[in-house]
Amino acid sequence: MGASITIQNAVKRYGKDTIINGLSLDIQPGEFFTLLGPSGCGKTTLLRMIIGFNSIEGGTFRINDRIINNIPTNKRNIGMVFQNYAVFPHMSVFDNVAFGLKNRKMSKEEIDRKVDEILKIVKIDHLKDRMPAKLSGGQQQRVALARAIVIQPEVLLMDEPLSNLDAKLRVEMRNAIKRIQKQIGITTVYVTHDQEEALAVSDRIAVMNGGVIQQIDTPARVYQRPANRFVSNFIGLSNFLPAQVHKGGETSLRFHRNGGYRISIKNLSPDVQDGQIVLTAIRPEEFVIHASGEEGLKATVQSSVFLGTATHYFLKLEDGAEIEAIQSADVWEQIPNGTMVCLRVKARKINVFTEDGSQALIVREENL
Ligand SMILES: Nc1ncnc2c1ncn2[C@@H]1O[C@H](COP(=O)(O)OP(=O)(O)OP(=O)(O)O)[C@@H](O)[C@H]1O
Ligand SMILES: [Mg+2]
């Protein structure tokens, strides 16, 4: 079984630049934990601190109860898979995977047995005598993964392991990685800037921006209930519209800049004030398009794209805001450009933030 990882108040500086300033997180034994964020936000930096390739300027890193700050990399019992495979080109698949074991003074029989077992798990046992140059990208990545896990580390770190693969192979390999991770139960910290990949593989996701963790939650939660505007826009796509809160009887939101269309809302945090201006975040699939003249947000179709399962509409609202709405394929006709329509909003799934977007104003649902 994997180990827990606990990071408290981590600080990383490169010269005078502080990249990470007081970052904390807890990773459970056996968890598939993903660091997700835009380029340059500090994902690789944090991973390199965990494995020991980077100095640590502050804070405490623990694997189980052991503080690892000053323990050398080769004593931390961590396996790592990099973006660019890093397999030895002059060694066969078998020798690549056996390499880490040879340094551990095992008998030849034991090494053979272990390598065969791991090659079966990653499903390349039929390729064990091949040289890396004669393998596909996905097969090379399986070799790299096998080499990292054959030493039975307590923790597996993966830094964008699939970014060199084409789109179809990426999906195949991410499913393979998830299956293998669950099969051997190893605590995994996975780095990606691909939000779909993060949603697909993770038990929990830490969304990072500028060296700061914005939210740590399950894939469903970071998508459905983002902690702030950044997360809402980084995971999936959101349209942001200001609205005014009306309390008394039923609480409602009034899109005051767009004709005063009102929706009632049940799950707004109780400390929101009557009259407060808030920022709503509405996913494209939460709009329902109706013919013009009915109740809703008045909008003009600017353009549309038919994508098989749905049609994506790009529309302009009365206040000039440009938004995207998705209509599922059970509607046959494509609405022509220039048409005036009315957009109703499915209130249950929208998100509401403070006007500056920094804080969510929705009560946490326990069943999500
Ligand atoms: N050795 C270094 N010396 C100085 N600055 C560095 C060094 N390595 C990284 N940085 C800086 O630290 C910040 C975080 O970099 P990091 O590589 O951790 O980003 P990342 O989240 O992994 O991005 P990407 O998705 O592009 O891989 C960046 O601003 C980067 O320029
Ligand atoms: Mg990186």
Distance from residue 306's CA to the centre of ligand 1 (Å):
39
Rounded Cα gap, residues 158 and 335, in angstroms: 45
Identify the pLDDT of residue 168: 85
Distance from residue 140's CA to the centre of ligand 1 (Å):
26
Q: Write out pLDDT tens, residues 278-319.
A: 999 999 999 999 987 778 999 999 999 999 889 999 999 999
Question: Which residue numbers in the chain have pLDDT < 70?
Answer: 1, 85, 330-331, 368
Q: Which of 13, 18, 19 to mutate to test the pocket of ligand 1 (most atoms within 8 A of CB)?
A: 19
Please, where are the H alpha helices in the chain?
43-51, 93-102, 108-121, 137-149, 167-184, 195-201, 219-224, 229-234
Identify the pLDDT of residue 356: 97
Q: What is the CA radius of gyration of the chain?
A: 25
Distance from residue 238's CA to the centre of ligand 1 (Å):
27
Q: Write out pLDDT tens, residues 198-244.
A: 999 999 999 999 999 999 999 999 999 999 999 999 999 999 999 99
Distance from residue 40's CA to the centre of ligand 2 (Å):
7
**Beta strand 287-291 pairing with 155-159:** unpaired
Q: Give the closest residue (by CA) to ligand 1 atom 3.
A: 14
Identify the pLDDT of residue 364: 81
CATH topology of domain 237-354: OB fold (Dihydrolipoamide Acetyltransferase, E2P) (2.40.50)
Q: Is the CB of 193 under 6 A from ligand 1?
A: yes
Q: Is the CB of 42 under 6 A from ligand 1?
A: yes
Q: Give the closest residue (by CA) to ligand 1 atom 14.
A: 42
CATH classification for the domain delimited by 5-228, as one of 3.40.50.300, 3.10.440.10, 2.30.40.10, 3.40.50.150: 3.40.50.300
Domain ranges of the chain: 5-228, 237-354
The predicted model scores a pTM of 0.91
Identify the pLDDT of residue 83: 79
Residue bearing tokens 């040289």: 131
Q: Is the CB of 47 under 6 A from ligand 1?
A: no
